Each structure stands twice: as C-alpha cells, then as structure tokens.
Structure 1
C-alpha cells in the first residue's frame, strides 16, 4: 500500500514544480483512492502518467476548490467514456447535502437533451457523524477539523485517521491547529501529514510553520508538512519535523518500516 502526493502545495500554488495537495492511496493490485480532487487534478495526474481512467474512488474532505474543483473533469470524462463506470465519492453526510447544489450543479446540471444530477456522474457514499468508510479492507475514520468558522457555524471539513500495516496515520487535510479538540489523534498516530502555511502573510484558517514549531518534540518527530506556499522553505528536519513533502513523493506502507521515495 502506497500514499502518493500528486502535489504538496497550497490552494493557490502556481508553476509546474508543484500542484495542490491532493493524494492517492494505491493498493498492491493498483486500485486507487483519490484523497480530494482539486482544480489542478488533470495536470497533477498527467504529471504522474495518470488520468481520469485511473480514478474510480474519491474521498472529499470539504468544499473548497482545491479539494473539489476537479470533480467536473472526472465526472464529465467518466460519463462520456464507455470504458468507465461511475466513480464512487465518499464524504460526510453534511458535505454530501451541499456538494451538488452548492458546488457542481452550475456547470454539470445541463447536458445535451437532459437535466443531470449528482447520480448522473457519481455513486455517492454518505458517511454518518463520527463515522467511517471502508475501502479495500482499510477503515478510514473521519475526523472533524476546525478549518473555517464564519461566526455562524463551522464549515464542514474532515481529516482522515486510518491504519495500514500496523501504522496509524492521521491526514489533517485542512485545519487550524486544534489540539484541544483533536489532540487524541496527534497522540495516537504513528505518522502525521499536516497542512502548513509558510507565507509571511498568515491566514487564520491554516496553521503557520511558526504555530507548528511550538508542538512538543514527540509530535513533531512523526510529522510531515504539506500545503505550503512557493518559495524558500524552513529547515524542517533541523526543527524536529520529518520534513516537507515534495510533489510526487511516495510513502510505501507495504512493510512495517515505511519507505519514502521522491
């Protein structure tokens, strides 16, 4: 089992050297689960000699365009290619209720001779509150994260916690640093993939490198950083982290000892 970073950049990363932080989990048989499907997806897949033909299962963490903006490409391409079956989308029930009406319908509702809906393009698997989904024998628990609060309510957004070959993995997707609510996952995980802002202009919806550097060493030493802005990066290894993930980097979980390939 492998975790492959199609990109490791922020939502607004530009340039051919990196893409948005979408990932693929791939089994030894070649089955693939896409973790988020941002607007860069057709380019980031192509850079690794992949395409929509390789995408049959998709997890969606939340509704920002760097996580869902590529679903139109996957949906249209799969529907009108007779080689494809409908891809499966896994997402939390509260996100599922918004995905079509708030995000996809404007561009995908009208097709020649008919009005389409989400079922036209995808099979939808809705995950209950505090629930999980199972894919290829792996149980993926949804972790509610604190990404954006608009003063009325918390935008639905979910990280993933799962176990592969005895290794417990926490992928934050997008979150503020919220140890008071999700500290148990930081403690339980053997490996953490955490979004990290490196811009000098910090936003309030992601942790900055300066935030993360204050974490206890026992957490930092199992943490890889992604979702960063272009430019010179701090020396993460010197500061106690495992490092910054690079585009195309592969984490191989086929054995108990994880191997990393660039």
Structure 2
C-alpha cells in the first residue's frame, strides 16, 4: 500500500505549483481510496494521470470545500458514465445530512430526482469507529479544527497500522498536544497539519484553525523526528529538517506504507 499527496498546500493554494492537501491511498491490487476530495481534486488527479473512474472510494474528514468541493465533479462524472461504478463514500455519520442538504443537493438533487445514494455507495461511520478497505483497518481520529461559535468543529483524521509502521494522518487540526498525546505516542509516522504564515516582522500569524509551525517546534525532539508536515501556505518555508522534523511533504510525494 502506498500514500501519495496529490497536493500538500493549504485551502487557498493557487498559482504556486501546488494543490490542496488531498491524498491518494493505493492498495496492492491497484485500487484507490481518495482521502478527501476538494475543489482541486479533478485537476490534481489529472496531473497524476488519473480521472474519476480511477477512484474506487473516498473518505471525508470534514466538510470544508478544500476537502469536499470536488465531490460534485466525482459524483456527476461517474453517474453519467454507464460503464462506471458508484464510488464508496466513507463519512462520519453525523456529517452526511449536512453534506447533502447544505453542500451538494443544490446542483446534484436534479429537481428532487436524485439523492446522495444515487451518486455514491454511502458507508456511515461512528464517531469513534473504523472502516475496512482492501483488508486494511482505518480508525477515525477526532481532531479539533476550530470553534464555530460555541460549537467545536471536529475533523476526523485516520490511524492505521501496516506491516511496516503505525501511521497517523491528522487532517486539519489545532495545536493540542495534551489532547492528542495518546495518538502521537501511538504513531511511528505522523503526517501533521501545519500552517506557515508569518507577519512582516517575522512573528507567526496564527489563524486559530490550524497548528502553526512555531508551535509544532515546541514538541519533543523524539516526536518531531516522526513527523511530516503538510497543508502549508505558499511562499518560503522554514527549514523543517534543521528543526528536527522529517520535512515538508512535497506535492506528488509518495510514501511506501
């Protein structure tokens, strides 16, 4: 199994040679699971030589457009192709109504003639649950992305263990080492959300919805040695390797899992 970052940039990445941080997991049999399907997905997949018919399943971490904005393209592309099958859609169960009613139905309902199930083979997941794909178990990992008023917005990363290592993909998350310590300790390799925005005077510019590089630098050397960083802004980046990290993930970089 291998993991490819179709892009490694932030939500608003544009014109810098990168794409949004959507990932592709490929099994030994050549089947493909898309980790999030953002607005860039059709373009980043095309750059990788792939199209809608090459995607067998999608996992949705949360409902921001850089993670679900490409589902209309994927659903329509397979729906109107008589030779294509519905992709499997893995999604935490409390999100599915909002995904359809607030995001996709405006165009995909087709005057009430269609539902989400017409486009995808929907598999609902428990908040603390898991799913099996190609005999691999993936466990949902809740991460606090931001506060929507008084309501926490949770993004569900994934934990999974292969014959080589235990992997954690955080998805979008705040810097919360106390809350996430158990997950950090468990993983041999961590792919961690990381923003890299700075003010003109060099001070970190924290959005309040992602883990900032300067905060991640305060983690222990042992933990930084296991950590790859992604979902960063365009422009110059710090020297992550010099600071003890594995480095910043590059667009198109592939990891043998």
TM-score, structure 1 length as denominator? 0.93
1:27-42, aligned counterparts within 5 Å? 27-42=27-42
Does the Cα contact within 8 Å between 1:95 and 1:156 map onto a contact in 2? Answer: no
SS in 2 for 1:133: strand
Residue pairs, 1:15-164, within 5 angstroms: 15=15, 17-110=17-110, 115-164=113-162
Aligned pair count reads: 251
- The residue that corresponds to 1:203 in the other structure is 207
Instruction: Describe the superposition over 1:146-183 as per-residue Cα deviations: whole angstroms up to 9, x where unpaired.
Output: 00212321123201010112410000010001222221
For 2:57 and 2:210, locate their aligned partners in 1 and report how far apart those are by CA, in whole Å: 27
Aligned 1:151-230 pairs, distance under 5 A: 151-200=149-198, 201-230=205-234
User: How far 1:239 moved relative to its partner?
Assistant: 0.1
- Runs of 4 or more, structure 1, over 3 Å off, are none
Question: 1:16 Cα shift?
Answer: 5.8
Contact 1:148 1:154 in 2 (8 A): yes
**What is the RMSD computed on CA atoms of the aligned residues?**
1.1
Unaligned 5+ segments in structure 1 are 254-262
Instruction: Return the match for 1:237 from 238, 241, 250.
Output: 241
SS at match of 1:8: coil
Distance in 1 (alpha carbons) for counterparts of 2:49 and 2:164: 30
Q: Give the alignment's TM-score, normalised by structure 2.
A: 0.95
